[in-house]
Amino acid sequence: MTSLPPSVRRARGLYLITPEEPDTARLLARVAAVLPQATWLQYRQKNADAGLRHAQATALQGLCAQADVPLIINDDVALAEAVGAAGVHLGEDDGDLAAARRRLGPHAIVGASCYDEAVLAERAVAAGASYVAFGAFFPTTSKVTTRRAMPALLTNATTLAVPRVAIGGITPDNMGPLVAAGADLVAVIGGVFEAADPVVAAQAYRAEFDRA
């Protein structure tokens, strides 16, 4: 188990995930508008070559450094290391979490997708995960998934003593029970970036945490 710095252990709020955006300038503009409302930002780009991914991650790292928001790279330990990101997020098929921890060092944020399985969360924390993510809690268009998480997973994961992230179709209107169950952060793509007014949407997520 990794000893978490206070900034990670107490993390709470909106965990913003970038949309698939091939235009780097447009991606930066879209992210910059809502970044003040985010606790963490994850760069997620599944449909680009290595050069574009490196360029976008580098630009986002600069943006996040200015805003004092940690940048976490989805699925790519080498890219996270190359651009000096705060850490990496790994799914169950994205490589060895313990190896990622060793490579990125003790202060990196290393997250793990645990879907609907408490045992995956337990193994992830034992391997050095900084946080665990459960979901999908609601239907989502961001990825194809047949696994549906229940709020009790969040409550039961309190004993793991790492932040708990809820993901999957979460809106300001349906996130209340998840926060009440123990979600420290909610991870969102479309709920912000596909909203009519992304800034207002991001503020609404943050306001729900303030109310809770």
Please determine, for residue 159, whether its predicted confidence score (pLDDT) is greater than 80.
yes
- Dist CA 25 CA 22 (whole Å): 9
* Amino acid sitting at position 134: F
Residue 27 is assigned to a structural domain of this protein = yes
- The confidence score (pLDDT) of residue 185 equals 98
Span 40-59, pLDDT tens digits: 999 999 889 999 999 999 99
- The confidence score (pLDDT) of residue 146 equals 66
The pLDDT confidence band at residue 212, using thresholds 50, 70 and 90, is confident
- The confidence score (pLDDT) of residue 93 equals 87
- The confidence score (pLDDT) of residue 15 equals 98
Residue 193 is assigned to a structural domain of this protein = yes
The domain that holds 171 is classified in CATH as 3.20.20.70
What average pLDDT score do residues 179-203 get? 98
**Range(s) of the domain holding residue 56:** 6-211
Residue 1 is assigned to a structural domain of this protein = no
Please determine, for residue 143, whether its predicted confidence score (pLDDT) is greater than 90.
no
Please determine, for residue 144, whether its predicted confidence score (pLDDT) is greater than 70.
no
Residues 21, 24, 28, 29, CA torsion sign: negative
What average pLDDT score do residues 55-64 get? 98
Structural domains counted in the chain? 1
Residue 167 is assigned to a structural domain of this protein = yes
What average pLDDT score do residues 93-111 get? 95
State the DSSP H helix or E strand holding residue 109, giving kind and residue range, or none if neither: strand 109-115
